[in-house]
Amino acid sequence: MPKTIIPRRDELIYLGLDVSRDSIAVGTLRPDDEVPDVTKVFNDEPSVRRLVGAFDDPRRLVACYEAGPTGYDLARLLAGLGVRCDVVAPSLIPVAPGAKVKTDRRDAKRLARLLRAGELTAIRVPTPAEEGVRDLCRARSALVADRRRARQRLASFLLRHGRVWRGASSWSLKHREWLAATHFDDPALEATYQRYLAVATVREADVDAVDADLAGWFEHPLFADAVSRLSAYRGLDRLGALVLASEVCDWRRFAGAGAFMSFCGLVPSEYSSGDRTRRGHLTRAGNVHVRTQLVESAWAYRYPARVTKELGQRHHGVAPDVVARAWTAQLRLSQRFRALDTRKGVRSVVCAAVARELAGFVWAEMTA
């Protein structure tokens, strides 16, 4: 059987791809070149195949492009053609302070040079199945936001016209009965009210439908283990666990808990020089969906540590060591929340600090 010949590093050809909806600017940096050549091709599969076919050996090609709205189809296509392709994090691309001109050609050249220098940070490309579940979770997040806005519009309309719900909680069964019994004598107001109420009802149905679609993935082999382990932690129900599992996918790509916290954007920004150390607000860089889920989960730790009925049901069938780690995390985070709450007084700050520690616990759980 013939041996596979792996090209040496000095034989590699580096391609910096600046990808937009209709075109791809390609910066080609050959072994003996210092300045990349730039060409532009159409952004479709036949054009990409022609681009790769113009080179003698696809194994000599190393390509990269920035993660963005064009997704991962290009990376999968190039991988299928035998080309190594890295999707790089845009926020981690080095930028010269004096660089004030930005064009597709300049970006393609810069990517090719940085790729050869090893200065780019690649992100993990999810499988199509992982990306599908992740997008479904993100669709639910968008629909929840739409539902909240629809409810706010309805409540604001009622308030403007002196109809105020004074019951215990909004959107309970009694509140819905009150909404159904509310009417206006003016035809225009009645029509407006019915439209607002109908939109809020439709948004509720949309969220319920997506929840039903996501429930089928809790036990799917791709996510079952992660969902069962993560949902053992307080504040993380199975839906929240699925969000984290679909967004992160490979937990071991983070060297430590601090790297995962940075990925979540839950670490403070810092500008230190000499003997002076200055830390500022949270970076909020990285994955906003993971950060949002962790912050929402952290609010559960404002109460004393205990195993609720719902949490006990999620513990059923989970390994004892996982439950033990989840209980240790609950003891620590509940105590931490109360201690910080007495000192800080601003609960949003306290919640962010607890979310950062929760990120460390879930990373340790998924890499144990």
Strand-strand pairing, 61-66 and 37-42: unpaired
Q: Which of 302, 348, 301, 367 is nearest to 328 (CA)?
A: 301
Task: Please name the residue that has the structure tokens 């390509």.
Answer: 63
| Contact indicator for 88, 67 with CB cutoff of 8 Å | yes
Arithmetic mean of pLDDT over the chain: 93
Q: What is the model's pLDDT at position 6?
A: 59
List the single range of 21-35, 278-292, 339-353 with lowest mean pLDDT.
Answer: 278-292
Q: Pairing state of beta strands 84-88 and 279-282?
A: unpaired
CATH number of 9-123: 3.30.420.40
Contact criterion met (CB below 8 Å) for 143 and 203: yes
Query: Where do the domains of the chain lie?
Result: 9-123, 146-215, 224-366
pTM of the model: 0.87
pLDDT band at 5 (very low <50, low <70, confident <90, very high): low
Q: Do the Cβ atoms of 259 and 265 come closer than 8 Å?
A: no
What are the tens digits of pLDDT across the range 36-61? 999 999 999 999 999 999 999 999 99
